[in-house]
Structure 1
Amino acid sequence: RCCFMATWGLMLRAGPRLLRERRARVRAEAATGASSEDIWLKWGLLLVPLTAFCLGTWQIQRRKWKLDLIAQLASRLSSEPIPLTLDPMELKELEYRPVKVRGHFDHSKELYILPRSLVDPEREAREAGRLTSHAENGANVITPFYCTDLGVTILVNRGFVPKKKLKPETRLKGQIEEEIDLTGVVRLSEKRKPFVPENNAEKNRWHYRDLEAMAKVTGAEPIFIDADFRSTVPGGPIGGQTRVSLRNEHMQYIITW
């Protein structure tokens, strides 16, 4: 009994001290947790502007690269034409490069890429900044072209025609029958972009260049060139419908970041 009473007395005397120590530990742990949260918050706030700065700097470099690429492609368009090659590997390196061929068209197998508007740099310069555009809607006429020297048939984008001139019988004067020398720029196949309809070969409605499908329908090789403006004849499609179109939205991204 004496031993029990002594132990009970010690517990009573030590109780307040143990309680104080426990409360001190709880406060210390809470302070440590709050301190850790503050550290993470500070690092998070620091990373936000740092990340934005890095992304903005990266977009500046991307914009410079894109502008240089556009300039290179535009420079290609003005270079001297070279004979067309049939080597697929060489063709992949020749997009936007002028080439020359000799042969004749097969107008019975025309294809139509639509809708398209006339590429007219002078009009586009006049209407720059306007909310509305007065570009006429129509299509690009793609015609098989038998190359006499190469012994193969390729696909040629003869150029733009308005809707009312889509049917060949409405532009018989422009349907060249004789053998000619033709200059154009090499174009490669392209993938369907978002929201662009699928091509419909049965209805002859094409919305993007699918060279394999076009070649299958016409019996031509999957080689495609845009005829230059000098190929235009009275009553025929308007040539020179090559547009160097690369997305360049990097300035918007720079401002955003």
Structure 2
Amino acid sequence: MLRPAALALWAALALLCFCGFMALGTWQVQRLHWKHDLIERVAQRVHAVPVPAPGQHNWPAVNAERNEYQRVRLEGILLNRHETFVQASTELGAGFWVLTPMRLADGSLVWVNRGFVDPARRDPARRGAPQPEGLTTITGLLRMSEPGGGFLRQNDPAQGRWYSRDIQALASAHGLAPAAPYFVDQEGGPGAPEIGPMSAAPAIWPVPGMTVVAFRDHHLGYAITWYVLALMVAAASFYVGRLEYRQRRRRGVAADRVRVRHA
């Protein structure tokens, strides 16, 4: 049997844990609704009619919540001499994203992810088609910059090693300005074949349209876990409370019998 002070402390800790677990479960339910709303909005953007990419005067307002995965259209000249390779892992295997800056009519720059190449196709002469020259129109998905590196590695601009599509760092490394705070994942042309692990090797590289639009959605499982923990705390509290009540009752009955015996 616990002393009153210990029992009060145990009850306070149990209440704190119960409230904490319930709060975490409710927070995950809120995150679940937010994630499903995000997935729905992104699905609408991906399949929408392309709109002009945000111009330089709109760059400060561009953010992930409002613009990520928006289908946009660009027209300009690709600066192929500044082509940069960023490490990638896709359904076609390991290789690189080909990022090329596009100079727009107003002089500003937008980096374009033209697609995936395997290590054997880094050389433009081995890609099955010449690089685009002159005025070019590209349609694709707006993506936000990826600062900080990736694959547990930091970008190394000095050595030309890139592990994430950090637009600001790319522009700085090539001395290009002004550059948009986003890049565009070029989409495949009409009738482009589906890409998968069993696909035949493409005839033309880089391979565009390989953006993976997927979101982790484990919030329901997390919510259930927190609520189950809260229920376990409540059940344990009920058990301890009942046990303490019975022990105290038995002790009280025993004390009454002693008093009756000595009366």
Cα drift, residue 195 of structure 1: 6.0
Aligned to 2:185: 226
The Cα of 1:254 is off from its aligned counterpart by 1.9
- Indicate the residue corresponding to 1:75 in structure 2: 44
C-alpha distance in structure 2 between counterparts of 1:145 and 1:256, whole Å? 48
Show the counterpart of 2:255: none
C-alpha distance in 1 between matches for 2:17 and 2:78? 60
TM-score, length-scaled by structure 1 = 0.71
Runs (5+) with no aligned partner, structure 2: 193-201, 227-263
- Is the 2:56–2:108 Cα contact (8 Å) retained in structure 1? no
- Answering whether residue 62 of structure 2 is matched by residue 91 of structure 1, we say yes
How far apart are 1:246 and its partner, in Å? 4.2
Corresponding residue of 2:225: 256
2:149 and 2:155 in contact (8 A); partners too? no
Give the 3 Å change call, closer, same or farther, for CA 137–143 of structure 1 in structure 2: same
Q: In the superposition, relative to structure 1, how do residues 103 and 177 fare at CA in structure 2: closer, same or farther (>3 Å)?
A: same
Query: Deviation per CA, 1:91-137, whole angstroms, max 9, x where unpaired?
Result: 3343321221222322221111103214xxxxxxxxxxxxxxxx511
SS of the residue corresponding to residue 95 of structure 2 reads strand
CA distance in 1, matches of 2:206, 2:36: 31
Q: Give the SS at the match of 1:202.
A: helix
Q: Distance in 2 between matches of 1:246 and 1:192?
A: 20
Q: Which of 62, 73, 82 is residue 100 of structure 1 equivalent to?
A: 73
Corresponding residue number in structure 2 for 1:114: 87
Structure 1: runs of 5+ lacking an equivalent: 1-30, 119-134
1:220, distance to aligned residue in structure 2 (A): 4.7
Q: Is the 1:91–1:186 Cα contact (8 Å) retained in structure 2?
A: no
* Corresponding pairs, count: 209
Give the 3 Å change call, closer, same or farther, for CA 172–115 of structure 1 in structure 2: same
The match for 1:145 among 102, 106, 109 is 102
Cα distance in 2 for residues equivalent to 1:162 and 1:182: 22
- What is the percent sequence identity of the aligned residues? 31
Q: Relative to structure 1, is the Cα distance of residues 146 and 234 closer, same or farther in structure 2, using a 3 angstrom cutoff?
A: farther
Q: Which amino acid aligns with 1:104?
A: I
CA contact (8 A) 2:117 2:206 kept: yes
- Write out per-residue CA displacement over residues 180-222 of structure 1, whole angstroms, 9 at most, x where no aligned residue: 2211222222232786211111332211122111112232533
User: SS in structure 2 opposite 1:141?
Assistant: strand
Task: Using CA pairs under 8 Å that are at least 6 residues apart, name the structure with larger relative contact order, 1 or 2.
Answer: 2
TM score, norm. by length of structure 2? 0.69
**Root mean square deviation of aligned Cα:** 2.7
Q: Is the 8 A contact 2:149 2:163 kept in 1?
A: no
Pick which of 52-61 and 228-237 moved more. 228-237
In structure 1, the residue matched to 2:152 is: 196
Equivalent in the alignment of 1:241: 210
